[in-house]
Structure 1
Amino acid sequence: MGERVAEVERKYEGGAPEVGVEGVAGVAEVRRVEADELDATYYDTAGFALATHRVTLRRRTGGQDAGWHLKLPATRADTRTEVHAPLGRGDDTPPEELRSEVTAILRGRPLGPVVRLRTLRRRTLLLDDAGRTLAEIAHDEVRTELPEDDAAAEPTNRWTPGPSWTETEVELGESGHPDLLDAVEERLLAAGMHRAASPSKLAHALGDRLTPPPRPPAEPATTGLTAVAYLHQQVTALLALDPAVRRAEEDAVHQMRVATRRARSALKSFGRALDREATDPIGQELKWLAAVLGLERDREVLAERLARRLAELDPELVGKPLRRRLRAPDTTGPSPHTALLHELDGARYFALLDALEALVAAPPYLRPAADAPAEDGAAAAVRRDHARLRAAVENALSLPPGEERDIALHDARKDAKRVRYSSEAATPVLGDRATAHTTRMKRVQQLLGEHQDSCIARDALIALRAAALAAGEDPAPYDAMVRRERDLAATVESDLPAAWESADQPL
């Protein structure tokens, strides 16, 4: 993957091209430097998939940072993640290391040049008393060229003039504090400037050809909007986490799996407001994706748990054969991560993302349930899920210890996740009471999760014991670890009645 940096920047329009910023607190020197001529070609799909998701990919020459630049949205205000790659040897094909960052957005669609921007940039540096850059103010005169055939994703050397404009960018330097942006903004606004309407030069150049995706309200007014707002969050999370999963970043697979489960749970919890004929197939595909992500995540969890059991053993029981069996990777096929990437590059995953985006763009509402007031509908969904969990817990506790109870507790764990997620979805309209309910359900889920992890580890140890015994190895350490897992599971079962009594409170 390319070099990644956080870019903190604000864009302005209007006003005078030169604004005095001398005397801004903390700025020791204002230095104007020689102008740069920049030539940038932006790449996108024919339908502007990248720009629609507030992503830009360009190849730029001239200036201080010539190269390929991929800019991705970030959650922090005024911030984007910028990924750099070198220009290469004159090749105008976007590098694979950058394309892989946006695989989930491209979904196999080809990239091509969509806009060319020629910019005359006049820069002003704001320095501290050690000569370090606190911020850079760039006044840009932008000239646009568009493909002559007006078709993206097709190689072209023919361009036709497009709109021209001027804008000012203020970018925070490595030594700058975000408060400096506010201080500079005061000067710019006083000089007649205002925040730019377009989030990027590409969006400005495309104008009304770029249709932004729908944004759900922060405070949904109806049950249907409550459900779709939560679904929208999960779709956004899936797209944002995809590149981190591909880079094998720590916890990325787990977080992506959670977003997948949240989306599937919402389709069930709000099934009375959404057409199940439309959403059930999507739910099945989300179940598939969660399973694909689980192949790697479950292996990680099991390995960590077995390592803890190994550390607890009497050292006299720990020998090389035991360590080898507990740590030996599965070499019978591709690594879990390789297998995961194969699925994430496949048509089935891309089709699921298409379906999810179509769902939040045009939800299959069932009226009048979807039009019910948000507070009433969200509370009803949470209460239904809570009742389902109550029945599952009571059923599990009524069973004697053993395999049947283990299965029932696993089912209760899944129900606990469902009610936790419906509480999360209800939080924007129910406020603190939904937050408190979510916290209670999370505790129950974690307790049941400990039980399930113990059962899985116990089964794995029993299988390892059989293999060790067949090889003539000592089964004693496996017996000790199995007993430990049984004790841990029994402790959960003992603690569960009181934990559930505390959690079983009305919304």
Structure 2
Amino acid sequence: MRSAQSERKYELSLKARVPQLASKGITQEAPAERTLETVYYDTKDFRLTRAGIALRRSSDTGWSLRLPGQELRFPLDDDPKTPAPIATLLRAYTLDRKLRPVAQLRTDRFTHRLADASGRTLATLADDHVTGEFLGGQALHLDRWRELDVEFSPESGPELLDRLDRTLRKRGAEDAWWPSKLERLIGDAAEGKRGSNEVLPAYLSEQFERLRRADLGFRVGEDDSVHQLRVAARKLRSGLQTFKSLVGKKKAEAVAAELKWLGGELAPARDVEVSQARLEACLDEVPPELLFGPLRQYLTREYARNSQTELARAMDALSGNRYATLLRSIAALLDTIQPVGKKALRKPVRKTARKLYRATAATEGLSGAELEKALHNVRKKAKRARYAADAVRPVFGKKLRTWRKNVKAVQGTLGEHQDTVVDREALRHFAIDGFSENQNTFAFGLLYGRDEAAARGLRDRFAEEWRTVRKGERPAWLKA
């Protein structure tokens, strides 16, 4: 199995140009092209997919059975039926139900090798143009999309991973939303088998499980674990606040308050990570002739000191009795949640939407710091509305997914805007402290000005995206 440190997956527009990752010391070779034909198999009710298992027949690698934690391979033959040894292995999952083709994929893969000056392979960029056909429904469903898969050689250090990650994001790449091509193609088909009365308990339980997995990851030093911890805590808190009338108001509010405390303990450590990555990326864009003195060394020293302090604070929080009590409280609350019907889920989601609309209206006529604060509030309301839509996604249709997508775009833009606010404060701090240490802080002032200009552009983009939210497609019950 590949580790999270050696491979990253992204999505990119079909119309975008091939990302050029060549830079000083790195060459990008012309692509090697090949076409892969893959057929996925499952039962009619998607028992394998719901168990986290993927069975596929590929023109390139033969039969592949991907289980949680391992992958088994079997030779290719001329018979498209599932080989008996595989069917036997899966009997406990299929209960002798017939395995049949549920999806067919054609992947046009363009593979670029990235090498150093000596010709040594540093990484491989696979640019996949995928055409998928969903065979499991009554109507034919076709889809086309594009994925990027960057795999790093064992000799490549983490700094190369982060460097290429920043470059890809500048070219428009985003984190892959779906864990696999199959799950992207079938969408909610497997998910939709869950009854509406199970949706809320399942969603909250999933966030709790993610919190516990991230907790373990943080303790063993996994990359990005602070971020994953914070996201899981935020989603769980948001879900409890949004649906508190359905899970028990007093208990939900009490647990949500403690999750807010946990988020506050984790936030500084994560903020240091984000700020450092962003400012270093901004410095990469400054012409060398405008960088005076050892600014990078200064930033590295300052961030290293802050990071150690905030990571120690986070570990203290996770090691204390308050956190242990919080975990027990979450588990106890989840055990008491009663199933609710589809109709009952609408009101809380509608309420989050109304709060978002009111928060946006409150930004009219504001400027300066007041506007920045109000837009940050809109961002938080958009995030909660998006999480609410995520929670009920399995039982509502395409219109809600479209509204959620539009809200997510608003949230993303305002997140970038808030980054400029935070970074300007950090730049001001570094300029003052650096000046006192006889640093030439001209570049910090230059970046401050760039951030101000970027913020104006982001506000204009937000205005356009908000018009899409207001006028775009959404369920009739969400308009009430």
Query: Which interval holds the TM-score relative to the shorter structure?
Result: 0.5 to 0.7
* Distance (whole Å) between structure 2 residues aligned to residue 171 and residue 294 of structure 1: 31
Label 1:218 to 1:232 Cα distance change in 2 as closer, same or farther (>3 A).
Answer: farther
Partner of 2:318: 344
1:257 maps to which residue? 230
1:423–1:435 Cα contact (<8 Å) kept: yes
Does the Cα contact within 8 Å between 1:426 and 1:434 map onto a contact in 2? no
Query: Residues of 2 paired with 1:183 and 1:217: CA distance?
Result: 30
**1:462–1:478: 8 Å Cα contact kept in structure 2?**
yes
Displacement of 1:383 after TM fit? 1.8
Separation (CA, whole Å) in 2 of partners of 1:313 and 1:260:
37
Is 1:424 the counterpart of 2:390? The answer is yes
CA–CA distance in 1 between the matches of 2:93 and 2:403? 40
Partner of 1:395: 362
1:349 CA displacement = 1.8
1:284 aligns with 2:251: no
Whether contact under 8 Å (2:292, 2:442) holds in the other structure is: no
State the 1:323 CA deviation: 1.9
How far off is 1:445 after superposition? 0.6
- Per-residue CA deviation, residues 319-377 of structure 1 (Å, 9 max, x unaligned), is 333223322235379443343233223222221111111111112x6xxxx85x31x22
- TM-score, scaled to structure 1: 0.56
SS in 2 for 1:486: helix
Aligned AA (1:423):
A
Contact kept in structure 2, 1:226 and 1:378, CA below 8 Å:
no
Within 5 A, what are the aligned runs for 1:29-428?
76-77=52-53, 176-177=73-74, 183-184=84-85, 186=87, 219-222=194-197, 225-328=198-301, 329-331=303-305, 334-363=308-337, 371=340, 373-374=341-342, 376-400=343-367, 402-428=368-394
Structure number with greater Rg is 1
3-state secondary structure, aligned to 1:474:
coil
Give per-residue Cα distances to partners, 1:456-476, cap 9 Å, x unaligned. 000000111111222333332
Stretch moving more, 174-183 or 312-321 = 174-183
CA 1:348–1:75 in 2, change beyond 3 Å: closer, same or farther? farther
Q: Distance in 1 between matches of 2:290 and 2:88?
A: 72
**SS of alignment partner, residue 319 of structure 1:** coil
Distance in 1 between residues matched to 2:263 and 2:449, nearest whole Å: 31
Aligned equivalents of 2:82, 2:332: Cα separation in 1: 38
Q: Which amino acid aligns with 1:487?
A: A
The Cα shift of 1:297 comes to: 1.6
Deviation at 1:495? 1.7
Structure 1: runs of 5 or more not aligned: 5-73, 80-133, 136-169, 198-215
Instruction: Kindly indicate whether the alpha-carbon contact (under 8 Å) linking 2:353 and 2:385 is maintained by their aligned counterparts in 1.
Output: yes
Q: Using a 3 Å threshold, how does the CA distance of structure 1 residues 217 and 353 change in structure 2: closer, same or farther?
A: farther
Change (3 A) 1:78 1:481: closer
SS at match of 1:473: coil
Q: Structure 2 CA distance, aligned partners of 1:427 and 1:174?
A: 30
Identity of aligned residues (%): 28
* Change in 2 beyond 3 A, CA 1:348/1:78: farther
Q: Deviations over 1:64-103 (max 9, x none)?
A: xxxxxxxxxx973399xxxxxxxxxxxxxxxxxxxxxxxx
User: Which residue number in structure 2 is paired with residue 109 of structure 1?
Assistant: none
Query: Any stretches of 5+ residues in structure 2 without a counterpart?
Result: 5-49, 56-63, 96-190, 476-480
Q: Residues 268, 460 of structure 1: CA spacing in aligned structure 2 closer, same or farther, 3 A cutoff? A: same
Return the offset for 1:277. Answer: 1.2
Does the 8 A contact of 1:220 with 1:229 survive in 2?
Answer: no
Distance (Å, rounded) in 2 between the aligned partners of 1:349 and 1:246: 14
Alpha-carbon deviations, 1:402-437, whole Å to 9, x = none?
A: 101111011111001000000001111113222222
Deviation at 1:173, TM superposition (A): 8.3
CA distance in structure 1 between the partners assigned to 2:88 and 2:234 by the alignment: 48
Aligned length: 317
Q: Secondary structure at the match of 1:398?
A: coil
Q: How does 1:436-475 map to 2 (within 5 A)?
A: 436-475=402-441
Distance 1:351 1:462, change over 3 A: same
Aligned partner letter, 1:387: R
State the 1:182 CA deviation: 6.0
- Higher share of residues assigned helix: 2
Aligned-partner residue type, residue 84 of structure 2: A
Tell me the secondary structure at the aligned position of residue 275 of structure 2. Answer: helix
Distance 1:251 1:226, change over 3 A: same
Shift of 1:234: 0.6
1:188 and 1:250 map into 2 onto residues whose CA distance is 35
| Helix, strand or coil at the partner of 1:448 | helix
TM-score (norm 2): 0.59
Partner of 2:362: helix, strand, or coil? helix
Cα distance in 1 for partners of 2:244, 2:320 equals 29
TM-aligned CA distance change 1:173 to 1:289, over 3 Å: closer
